[in-house]
Amino acid sequence: MTMKVRFALVLIALTLLGCKDPAEFSAAGLGEGATSTVSGTRTEDVSDDTLNNIKAFSVTMPAKWKFQGVLLQGGVALCDSLASQVWRATSPDGTSIVEQMPQLLWAYGNGPKPVKGCLPLNGPISAQDLLTRVAATLHAEYIGPDQMPDAMAKAVKQYQDAFAHPDPFYAAHNLPAPKYKIEGAAALVRFKRGTTEMQGRLTAFLQCVETTHAGVIQIDKAHPGRPLQMGPVPQATVNKCTANVTYMAAPGNQLAGVERQWDATGMGFKPDKDWGDAWVKRKAQQGQAVTDAMIKSSWDRFNAQQKEIAHTMAVQQQQHDQFLATMQAGTDRSIANANAARNARSTAASDVVDYALDRQTVMDTNTGVIHKIPDQVTPGGTLQKVHGDGTPY
C-alpha cells in the first residue's frame, strides 16, 4: 500500500469517527465536509507550523465547549506512523469530554517491520478486543459492545467491500496481493469521578494491511572491503496496523444527550485536503533526500575502499587479472540470464510490476548487474534506470 493511499485511509478513519454524514466519507469528498446543521456551534482550526501554518484540520463543536488540539508529525521512529490529529473538547462545566486519541500502531510478522513506538502486540486483534484494552488503560470498566453510529457502520462496510477482492493484476502476474483488514467497533465503559457515576463510549476504526515480500537480492555487508557480494532473501510476511480511537464521556444521565450533539451532521473532525496533499508530497521528498544521502555516503565509502584495493593489487597483478576474469565470467552469466528473462516476459508487464510495488529497476553500467530499488530513489553513480526486465529505455 503506497504512502498516499495509507494516509488517505487514516484521514478517512478520523473523519468517520468525527462526524455523521455518510456523504462525507467518499474519497472524492475527503476534506470537504458538510456545513454544520447544529445551532450554537463554532469551529476550531489546527494548523501545521511545519508547513507555513497551513490549516491541517478543524473540529466543529458546541459553541461554549473548550478545545485543545495538536498535530503530531509521526515518523519512522514512531512505528512508521503518519501524521496524527489529536484533540479534546470539554464541556463548560468540565464534566463531559469528546476526544480523538493519538493513533495506536503495531506490526507483526516474520519480515522486516518497525519496532520503536509500536504497541506490544505480536498478532492479530479485533477492533472490539482493542477497545477492551483501551478501557483498561483508561482505568474504566468495560461494559460491552455498543452499536456503531450508522454513518460509521456504512462507511466501514464501504471500505471492506472496496478491498475485499484483490486487483486481478496480482493473480495475472503471479504476485501475492496485499490483504486488507478494516473494522469498526464501539463499546460502553463506566467509571467514577469522585462520587459521580460516569459513562463513556469508545469508538475505533482499525485498518491492517498484510504484505508478502517475495525473495529479493540484498548487499552482503559482511565484507565491506570487497566488491558487492549478492545473496537471496527468503519470502516474508508483515502486517502493519493502525487504530484510531475516539472517547466520549459524561455523567451517566447525560451521555445520551452528548452523543446526540456530537453525532449530528457537520459536528466533529474534518481534515483539510490541501494540507493532506502537501504533507504527502513533503514526506516523499524527505524520504528521497534521506535515501540519496545514504546512497552518496555508501558510494563515497565504496570509492575509498576501491582506491585502497587498487593500491594493494598494484603489487599483485596476476591475482588482480584472475579476479577480473572471474568477475567478467559472472557478469557474462548475469547478462545471459537477464536476456533469457527478458525474452520470457514483456517489457510492459515488468514495468507495471515495478510500478505496483513502488520500485524501479536500475543497471550498474560497470558490471551490468540489475538492481531493484525504491521508486523514490534517484539513481546515482554508475546506476542507470532501465525497464523492469532489464532492457534499456
Nearest-angstrom CA–CA distance, 18 and 55? 17
Give per-residue pLDDT as tens, 276-318.
Answer: 888 788 877 766 766 666 677 766 676 777 777 666 666 667 6
Nearest-angstrom CA–CA distance, 375 and 393? 16
- Res 273: pLDDT: 87
Asked if 152 contacts 17 with a C-beta cutoff of 8 angstroms, the reply is: yes
Phi, psi dihedral angles at 381 (to 5 degrees): 60, -130
Nearest-angstrom CA–CA distance, 200 and 33? 26
- Res 233: pLDDT: 54
Phi, psi dihedral angles at 345 (to 5 degrees): -150, 165
User: Which parts of the chain sit beneath pLDDT 70?
Assistant: 1-39, 75-77, 214-234, 286-287, 289-294, 298-300, 302, 309-316, 318-320, 323, 338-346
Give per-residue pLDDT as tens, 1-30.
Answer: 555 555 555 555 555 555 443 333 333 222
- Res 95: pLDDT: 93
Going by the DSSP 8-state scheme, the letter that residue 13 receives in this structure is: H
All three cell numbers of 288, joined, read 528521497
Distance of CA 15 to the CA centre of its chain: 17
Per domain, the residue ranges of the chain are 3-284, 316-386
Going by the DSSP 8-state scheme, the letter that residue 81 receives in this structure is: B
- Res 18: pLDDT: 53
- Res 310: pLDDT: 67
- Res 37: pLDDT: 40
- Res 202: pLDDT: 96
Nearest-angstrom CA–CA distance, 387 and 360? 8
Nearest-angstrom CA–CA distance, 169 and 303? 41
Dihedral sign for Cα 42, 33, 280, 1, please.
positive
Phi-psi region of 211 (alpha: psi -120 to 50; beta: other; left: phi over 0): beta
- Res 12: pLDDT: 52
- Res 13: pLDDT: 54
All three cell numbers of 330, joined, read 559472472
- Res 311: pLDDT: 65
- Res 108: pLDDT: 92
Phi-psi region of 2 (alpha: psi -120 to 50; beta: other; left: phi over 0): beta
Task: Tell me, letter by letter, the H, E, C secondary structure of 322-387.
Answer: HHHHHHHHHHHHHHHHHHHHHHHCCHHHHHHHHHHCCEEEEEECCCCCEEEEECCCCCCCCEEEEC
Position 178: which residue type? Answer: P
Nearest to 156 by CA among 132, 112, 193, 186: 186
Asked if 213 contacts 206 with a C-beta cutoff of 8 angstroms, the reply is: no
